[in-house]
Amino acid sequence: MELPALIETNLPVLVVIVPLFGGLLSLFTRRTGSWAWAALVAMATFALAVLLLDRVRASEHGVIEYFLGGWPAEYGIGYRVDILNAYIILVVALIGAIVTFYARHSVNDEIPDDRHHFFYSVWLLAIAGLLGIPATGDTFNIYVLLEISSLTVYTLVAMGHHRNRRALTASLKYLILGSIGATFILLGIGYLLMLTGTLNMADMHDQLMKMKELGTLDENRTLLVAFALLMVGLSLKMALFPLHTWLPNAYTYAPSAVTAFIAATATKVGVYMAFRFIFTIFGGVYETSATGLNMLVLTICACIGIIVSSIAAIRQDNVKRILAYSSVGQLAYIVLGFSLVNQTGITASVIHIFNHAIIKGGMFMAMGCVALRMGGVTLDHVAGLGRKMPVTMAAFTIGGLGLIGVPMTSGFISKWYLVNAAIQEGLWWVAGVVLLGGMLALIYVWRVVEIIYFRAPTSDAPAREAPLGMLIPTWLLIGASIYFGINADFTASIAATAAELLMQGMN
């Protein structure tokens, strides 16, 4: 379709600029106008993301390059969008738009009216930061956008203090740990700048390959330190065991809409950054294979993370906390996928990014409905809700089935690819850990489902079903998880193409 030239030529950067300025302008809105403006901007951003994916698929090499200010690659900041980037941008923009529509009732309830314009302003800035990270092709720009998204998310999490003051300490802990992680990433980028003299990711890769041919990379300690620092920083952002400790508190005490949004997007974008650094920049430089030391550390940390987080989830009494520990485990699946360094593994990672985003987003939104009607989300609050809020609880249960990996849900597709990838590498114990994680997920999901449906309610207070404005977004995501569980063509084909592109850098 024909677009105005302004939009067509600037598409990669528009997905960042529209929510950025939308967030700034949101400061001038008041009360219900704040939500309406945020919803409008989020819809516009989603439309731009869809257009971007369409343009990328239609372009000749499957890549759109855009240079800010017209400055060419060596001097300027380049935005480079290929199929993987466009896919992640689509996921983030989709979740952003859906949760913004969901946020109306939830935010009205949990945050004072005079704070709404601030809240939605920071909300849109978070969307802008999280969309910029997949769009950019410049390492320092990725650091800046990472900090934009992180700072806004710290603020959003701290907004939960109107309900529970622990949101403040949770946010501060997240801030300190997150800043340390981002500073490690900055140090790693500094070492890479020292080695290659450039900040553009594609250019960095070329320089490193040239140096490798010249032999200057053998036993090069600068490169090793760069890789180590980057991996530590990224592991913290991806919430990989043992650097995941900020996640449970931050997810539990944040406002419901915020949790639904960041659970689905913030850590996934961290995984995307890991893809870029490991496969695009370092790809082919180190002899990385699944049993090489670099990746084996990731594999082991991911496996331990799956088991430890699932066991921790079983013991919790707050349903949001259960879902938070479950998120740590699911993220460990994603990391496990790409640490196997074969095409099926990376496909599994990319598919699970999408699947987990929609499942967890849907489940946290269901819990937000419960918080709205019941005032809390502990097991006492959800007891017996299967009868009073059947639609919401059905969404939660189906999402739970997706976490376990029951066939016909999207979680099954991801686990299928993951186990295949593990068997391809000959690492049978990894496949065993994946299945064990599924069984542990069964325990903690079914514990909650049993209490929802088969236990008497703790209070006789009547509970109505959640408002339609919250139910529709929840069911949109859960319905998507069922649809993409039955018909995974779209997600699987894009993931396979993305995996192929990433593996190309390895050779």
Partner 1 sequence: MDSLGYYNYWLTIAIIMIGFYGVIAKRNLVKQIIALGLFQTGVFLFYVSMGVFRKDGEDGQPPIWSPLTDENGRTVIDQAGYAVKELGVHDNPLPHVLMLTAIVVSVSTLAVAAAIVVNIKRRYQTIEEDEILAIEHSEAAGVTDPAGADPKGQIEGQTEGQTKSRIHIEDATEPEAED
Query: Could you tell me the two tokens for 476?
Result: 């949109």
Pick 55 or 447: Cβ nearer partner 1:
447
Residue closer to partner 1 by CB (options 79, 184) is 184
Max alpha carbon distance in the chain (Å)?
A: 76
Write down the least CB distance from residue 227 to partner 1, Å. Answer: 17
Cα gap 277→51, rounded to integer Å = 26
The three-state DSSP-derived secondary structure of 437-487 is HHHHHHHHHHHHHHHHHHCCCCCCCCCCCCCHHHHHHHHHHHHHHHHHHHC
**Least distance CB 376 / partner 1 (angstroms):** 2
Q: In this complex, which beta carbon is closest to partner 1, that of residue 350 or of residue 383?
A: 383
Minimum distance, C-beta of residue 343 to partner 1, in the bound complex (Å):
35
Nearest approach, Cβ of 256 to partner 1 (angstroms)?
A: 12
Residue 186 CB, nearest distance to partner 1 (Å)?
A: 6
User: Of 362, 425, 354, nearest to 399 (Cα)?
Assistant: 362
Q: Which amino acid makes up residue 82?
A: D
Give 15 or 151: the residue with its C-beta nearer to partner 1.
151
The Cβ of residue 44 has, within 10 Å, a number of other Cβ atoms equal to 17
CA nearest to 259, candidates 389, 344, 185, 158: 158
**What's the 3-state SS for 386-436?**
HHHCHHHHHHHHHHHHHHHCCCCCHHHHHHHHHHHHHHHHCCHHHHHHHHH
Q: Are 214 and 175 in contact (CB under 8 A)?
A: no
Number of H helices, E strands in the chain: 21, 2
Q: At its nearest, how many Å lie between partner 1 and the CB of residue 506? A: 29
Report, in Å, the least distance between residue 105 CB and partner 1. Answer: 17
* Residue among 199 and 306 whose Cβ is closer to partner 1: 199
Q: How many other C-beta atoms can be found within 10 angstroms of the C-beta atom of residue 300?
A: 15
Paired tokens of 494: 């894009």
The residue (of 90 and 146) whose beta carbon lies closer to partner 1 is 146
Q: Which is nearer to partner 1, 65 or 380 (CB)?
A: 380
Q: Give 87's contacts (C-beta < 8 A, 6+ positions apart).
A: 53, 350, 354, 494, 495, 498
Least Å distance between CB 491 and partner 1?
35
Comparing CB distances to partner 1, the nearer of 122 and 480 is 122
The two structure tokens encoding residue 258: 């915020």
What are the beta bridge partners of residue 78?
67
Q: Count of CB atoms within 10 A of residue 305's CB?
A: 28
CA dihedral over 147, 151, 156, 160, signed as positive or negative: positive
190 vs 479, beta carbon nearer partner 1? 190
- In the bound state with partner 1, the residue whose beta carbon lies nearer, of 228 and 406, is 228
What does the binding site for partner 1 look like in residue numbers (CB under 8 A)? 140, 143-144, 147, 151, 154-155, 158, 161, 163-166, 168-169, 171-172, 175-176, 179-180, 183, 186-187, 190, 193-194, 317-318, 374-378, 380-381
Distances (CA, A) of 461 to 361, 379, 384, 457, 464: 28, 16, 12, 9, 10
Min CB(310)–partner 1 separation in Å: 20
The tally of CA atoms less than 13 A away on the side-chain side of residue 458 is: 11
Query: Judging by beta carbons within 10 Å of its beta carbon (0-12, 13-18, 19+), is residue 416 exposed, middle or buried?
Result: middle
Nearest approach in angstroms of CB 127 to partner 1 is 18
Rank residues 85 and 318 by Cβ distance to partner 1 and give the closer one: 318
CB of 151 to partner 1, least distance (A): 6
Shortest distance (Å) from residue 434 CB to partner 1: 31
DSSP state of 79: E
Which of 263-285 are b and which e, b meaning 16 or more Cβ less than 10 Å from the residue's Cβ?
A: bbbbbbbbbbbbbbbbbbbbbbb
By C-beta, is 190 or 467 nearer to partner 1?
Answer: 190
